[in-house]
Structure 1
């Protein structure tokens, strides 16, 4: 049995689809099972509730060999470390109590870089990895850069004003990964019963791009001018607060951007093994353009 947490999210739903296509037995943990597609509900076991809760994970992990672990975003969190590490404590206890052998988790690039200790969400995710590894379970941490799919959050601004914003440098090239590729690697690892130990699995996409490079590609794909606008840190954070983020989360987001500017995502050398296939142009054609045009 393979257990999937966050099965209705960008990554989790794709992991579920790939496992079902492979004929694997799947159990999902869902706060709102009604959000699962009907065809999925018919083919999986469903445990209703939050995977933060001890009773829920004890039930979900019983008899499971492998778990896909993803902490859902909490834009209103009062403490970002607690949102990762505190959220994962019950699951870590259940890994041991229920005899789970292998865990694949969604984490971040940056371990070993000088700026990792003050990198907001990344610092918290790396602490979560340490907590999971300390249980003794075999663990693969998917070490991820920024997601291409995050651009969908700014689809309205791109459509209406031809602008996307960040507080990062416009000319700094860095890796980008698509959630579809993350899901593919996660599913393959969950199906592979041979690996052991604890290891990071960097997923870097096929190329490094700057926000200016991305703007050029989007302009060509969308056939309209698109530009990147770098906001001053405090202006950027004020926008996050207006969108509903808590003080702690908005501060952690800024810390993460500043850490990325300082080299957070550049600690891993690109190789064919860690270069995932979906390029940003293809992603724009298949994911962004339908949203902007629609």
Structure 2
């Protein structure tokens, strides 16, 4: 009998928390302040969407426990590093993340910068430690993570985002920005989870790419809706900040109702993309539902 989704999700989140506690340097390791801050920002919070996607894909392609723990930890470390830097005064200048003070507020700006740098390096060290994947595939996994996190992925999307403040973007331009800023890391979470199990056929890769594109855009659409409608206590970060900072969003371009309709359309597209895998892709379908139906 298949484990209920909520039970599976909670188990994965617990496993990922334990893995992160293991792979991150202990707070007692010199330099103490840096390692304490790395653990402060990474442990005990967040939805763990990227790790969940890695495990969901791993369930489909047979990844073993250690490989998936390392993939999930690596993508979460990259994600957390991006949040730490994103919250700094030179970017979004936010003081609340995951319901607690951001790193540059709890510590200082220099520490926040180093925390992000160190988490990025730790992610690649963690991913490189997989012992059950053939070397050639492991090199591919490391390259894919670097591409997703770099200037052709997440960092590139953030650069476009910063340059777009105050501009009236077209919907296609907004989608391009978020395919890089948000979508690239969601996609690589799915692909790395699959590669932790085995090599992919072109048809399988095409299906996973289509799924990832749909959930990547859906995630951002829902983020924009929540930023416009939820409160800071619910979100665990400052609500209404996009509008206050005059950033282009799906809500500012399409309006609230049409944005919600778009998110639902993208959820259906994600489900359709998984059709070649049948019922074996149940977890990925459930995660698409979670991404669209979440309240924070």
The two structures have a TM-score, normalised by structure 2, of: 0.31
- Larger % of helix: which? 2
TM-score normalised over the length of structure 1: 0.31
